[in-house]
Amino acid sequence: MAHPFETLTPDLVLDAVESIGFLSDARILALNSYENRVYQVGIEDSEPLIAKFYRPQRWTNEAILEEHQFTFELADVEVPVVAPLIHNGETLHEHKGFRFTLFPRRGGRAPEPGNLDQLYRLGQLLGRLHAVGATKPFQHREALGVKNFGYDSLTTLLEGNFVPRSLLPAYESVARDLLKRVEEVYDATPHQNIRMHGDCHPGNMMCRDEMFHIVDLDDCRMGPAVQDIWMMLAGDRQDCLGQLSELMDGYNEFHDFNPRELALIEPLRALRLMHYSAWLARRWDDPAFPRSFPWFGTERYWGDQVLALREQLAALNEEPLKLF
């Protein structure tokens, strides 16, 4: 059977946008997105809009609307975030089986790796984000945990026969050892789950006119605050210590960070490694994935994964980063 996104043609995208009252000028540009499909659509006598078409059967309507509500809560207290447009009282629309949302176009550039001045300002932004996120929980969006990001990822890979037979024993062995250690650290580390961004890599914290703004809350969920912090760090341990200090100086101006959560950085990195492979596996029926990730499934990829998980297991046994 054809994947649903194969029927999402440019004409259908334009029809969807026009179905809620906008007049397109027929210009359309596909933007870089794999989980969903995102397009810049030209509008007659106005600025272009960004149309995001949600992957079918991923989030419920309630979960998507909860993301939108979180975005509005941030915007209400002037946290710079790209919020969905409200049109005819709605943010989530449907056209020919596809759910979609419109956003204003807001470009920018990603932070410079290791730039301490930018990290201080990013820390302020993350502190403001988490101050709002900590006020109440999500009701319809799952939390980040060892089971769903770790053990469920391993089950997907093993049951789907994605790991080459020659590397299967090595991968399964190191993955199980790694998850056991992750679980031990998780259980030993006091932490609080709050609403967070969930996929806070530098490309989702864009700078425009010397001001950073948050984009793409599609992966927002409950989880420890440090999940949104560790992906801002780059380089060796000494580099990360300096960067972490700047981040926390800005962050703590708006929200108190529990330094004990730093022990979760390497467990969270381990979960992200395994979840990424499982994400590719779960999306392999989408034709965009074999085209864009042709190396997935090769012995070289899985050999590199075995090595990466072994290195991550070693990192879990090192002293965690600390604030001074």
Catalytically active residues are 199, 216
Structure token pair of residue 30: 């596909």
Rounded distance between C-alpha atoms, residue 243 and residue 265, angstroms: 14
Q: Which is nearest to 105 in space by CA: 23, 197, 36, 43?
A: 43
Cα dihedral sign, 271-274-278-279: positive
Does 228 appear as a known binding residue? no
Does 11 appear as a known binding residue? no
Q: Which is nearest to 217 in space by CA: 99, 97, 52?
A: 52
Structure token pair of residue 181: 């250690």
> Are the C-beta atoms of 144 and 246 separated by less than 8 Å?
no
- Does an H or E element contain 240, and which? helix 237-251
Indicate the annotated binding residues for Mg(2+): 204, 216
Indicate the annotated binding residues: 204, 216
